[in-house]
Structure 1
C-alpha cells in the first residue's frame, strides 16, 4: 500500500512518482502525487479512466499530452483536468525534466496499479516500451478495470479477452497484484 512520501520509479518509461496523499490518507477521496517525467520519456499506451477525474498541474518544465488523438503541450503554471472516459497519454519529449502535481479523484485502487506497473518495470518484467507482457497485461486489465482501460481494443473485447485468458495467465504464474511491490 502506498504511503505518503513513498517514491516509485519506472526506469523504462522515465517516470518517478512520489505519493503525497494516498487513498488511506483521504479515505478514498483523493490520490495526490508529484510526478517527474525525465527527458525523452516514452509515450505510454493511450488509456482512460472510467470513473475518475485527473488534474495535472505543471510545476517545472513542459510536457506533451495526447487527448483523444490531439497532442497538446503544457508548460509551467498550466493545469489540465481530464474527465472520466477521456482517452489520453502523457510524456516528456524534451531535454529537461518536467515535474507535475497529479491528482486522481476518487483514488480507488490507482496506487496499487502504479506500484504494480512500476515494480514490474524495476524487476525487468516489461517490454522495451515499458508495458508488461500479454498474459500479465490480461490480469492487470481485469483486476484494475475500474481505474484503467486501454483505448484499443474496445472495452468489450478487453473484457472478453480477460475473462477467457485469465485462467491461462494464472496457470502461467502471473498475478494481478504482487505484494512485494506494495508497502
Structure 2
C-alpha cells in the first residue's frame, strides 16, 4: 500500500504489514521531500525502531544533542525510551526504510496520518486538528513527548481515547487506516 501526502509531498509505502510478519514488525518505506520536517522529539516506551537510508541523507537526533547524518546503507536503531526525531536536512529527497517492532499500532498511526491528509481532514501541514484524533493516533504509535511525565500522558491519552470511542471517532479512523481495529485493546500497545 502506497500513500502520498498531498500537503507535504512525502510518500509512505507499507512493504510488509505487522499482521503479516512473524515478529509483528511493520516494514515501511518513506520518500521525504527536500527539507521535510519529519517528526518532533518523541520516544516510544515499548517500540524499537530502525531507520536505514536508501537514497540521500537522513538526520536523526538521539537525545538532546547527538545528531547523526545517515547516508546510503547506514542504519540506526532506536530502543524503547530513547528520545529521538528525524528530518531531511538536504535539498534533495531522502528515501529510507523503517522497521518498527511491535508494529501494529505504529502501522495504524502512519496509515491514518497519511489517509487523513489525502482525505482533506488535516491542517495545512498534514496534521489532524482534533485532540481526540491525536489521542488515538499517539496511543497507537506508542508516541510520547519528552518533558511531560509519561504516566500523565498515558492517563490523558487513554481518557481522550475513551471519549473518542464514545463519539464514534475510533470507528471512523478504522476506515482511514484500512485495518480492522479491535475495541478497547487499542489503548494498550
What TM-score do the two structures reach when normalised by structure 2?
0.78
- What pairs up with 1:1-183 in 2 under 5 angstroms? 6-70=1-65, 71-133=67-129, 134-142=131-139, 144=140, 147-170=142-165, 174-175=169-170, 177-182=173-178
Contact 2:116 2:176 in 1 (8 A): no
2: CA distance, partners of 1:172 / 1:34: 33
CA RMSD of aligned residues (A): 2.4
Structure 1 unaligned segments of length 5 or more: list them: 1-5
Contact 1:12 1:121 in 2 (8 A): yes
Alignment size in residue pairs: 176
SS of residue in 1 equivalent to 2:169: coil
Structure 2 unaligned segments of length 5 or more: list them: 180-189
CA 1:108–1:180 in structure 2 vs 1: closer, same or farther (change >3 Å)?
A: closer
Structure whose residues are more often helix by fraction: 2
What TM-score do the two structures reach when normalised by structure 1?
0.81
CA 1:139–1:104 in structure 2 vs 1: closer, same or farther (change >3 Å)?
A: closer
Shift of 1:161: 2.1
